[in-house]
Chains A and B, each alone.
Chain A
Amino acid sequence: MATVELTFSALPAHVRTARLVATAIARRTGVAEALLDEVRLAVGEACSRAVEAHRVHCPGEPIRIELCDESGRFEVTVTDSAPSDDLEQAYKDEDGPPAAVNGTALASLLPADTLMSGFGIAVIAALADDVEVYPSAKGLRIRMSWPAATTGLATA
């Protein structure tokens, strides 16, 4: 069950709000200060990807974020309602995001100056130590987590 759950309209301006909320809750949950930048960037990437997908497929639908504190982990799940594209489908067929996350090959994926959803997911895979991507015809769900203090929000 989500400790905090929020939804927001698919507008780029709201991505910053989502980042701030996720970072604040991560801090309260006991995620190490050194990891907070990674949480902020990974959540931002997931939300940016979702916003771009919604703007193409379903601009009126909201994007949902769930932030959980369970078993010593801070877990974030970003769920969109846009049909997954081919690249995301390819992740399903393989074992997670591409292996080139830490290599120069990733740079070649980047188009001229637009966000490519697969690129954002690859960045997330490099930032969170546990990432799962669930593509489906109804939308994409990205679940990522980081270690947190065992006490967490429950006693904060």
Chain B
Amino acid sequence: MDLKLDHHTEDRLTIVEVEGEIDVYTAPRLRELLIDLVNKGNFHLLVNMEKVDFLDSTGLGVLVGGLKRVRAHDGSLELVCTQERILKIFRITGLTKVFGIYASVEEAKEAHGRDK
């Protein structure tokens, strides 16, 4: 499956919907989207990965790059993910301690609301 990307903003939180496979072929598209969002002043990003079938280290690199960009603007980049196959690579790499990872968009929005 190719990569499908969409996004919308709710109350200063930009939710990025990702569907498909994030690998060395598709990751540049996600990178471009994250860079574009930050360049347009969206500094609080929530990446919904519930429909991601595959994620490799290239994809992780893009997410870390996005995190660095938003943090430069005191922003945030957090994830929604409950799939064990995806969470595993975050655990292997220690990135569970770098990203806020939520079980649902609603849960992430509530946490974001509390932090504002």
Contacts and interface: CB of A to CB of B under 8 A. Distances in A.
Contacts of A116: 57, 61
Interface in A98-133: 101-107, 110-116, 119-120, 122-123, 126-127
Contacts of A45: 56-57
21 contacts: A15-B23, A15-B25, A16-B25, A37-B85, A44-B24, A45-B57, A48-B56, A48-B57, A103-B94, A104-B97, A106-B93, A107-B97, A107-B98, A110-B61, A112-B68, A114-B61, A115-B57, A119-B57, A120-B57, A122-B93, A123-B89
A48 B85 CA distance: 19
A123 B92 contact: yes
Interface of A: 12-13, 15-16, 19, 37, 40-41, 44-45, 48, 51-52, 101-107, 110-116, 119-120, 122-123, 126-127
Interface in B61-77: 61-62, 64-66, 68
A105 B98 CA distance: 11
B72 to A, nearest CB: 11
A7 to B, nearest CB: 18
B105 interface: no
Contacts of B94: 102-107
A41 B93 contact: no
Given A37-B85, A48-B57, A123-B93, A12 B23 contact: yes
Interface string B42-64: 00000000000010111011101
A131 to B, nearest CB: 13
Closest 6 CB pairs between A and B? A113-B65, A104-B94, A12-B25, A48-B24, A112-B65, A12-B24
A98 to B, nearest CB: 12
Given A120-B57, A123-B89, A51 B24 contact: yes
B18 to A, nearest CB: 15
Contacts of A41: 54, 56, 89
A116 B66 CA distance: 16
Contacts of A111: 61
Interface in B95-113: 95, 97-98
Contact of B54 (A40, A102, A110, A112): A40
A35 to B, nearest CB: 12
Given A111-B61, A115-B24, A115-B61, A44 B56 contact: yes
B21 interface: yes
B31 interface: yes
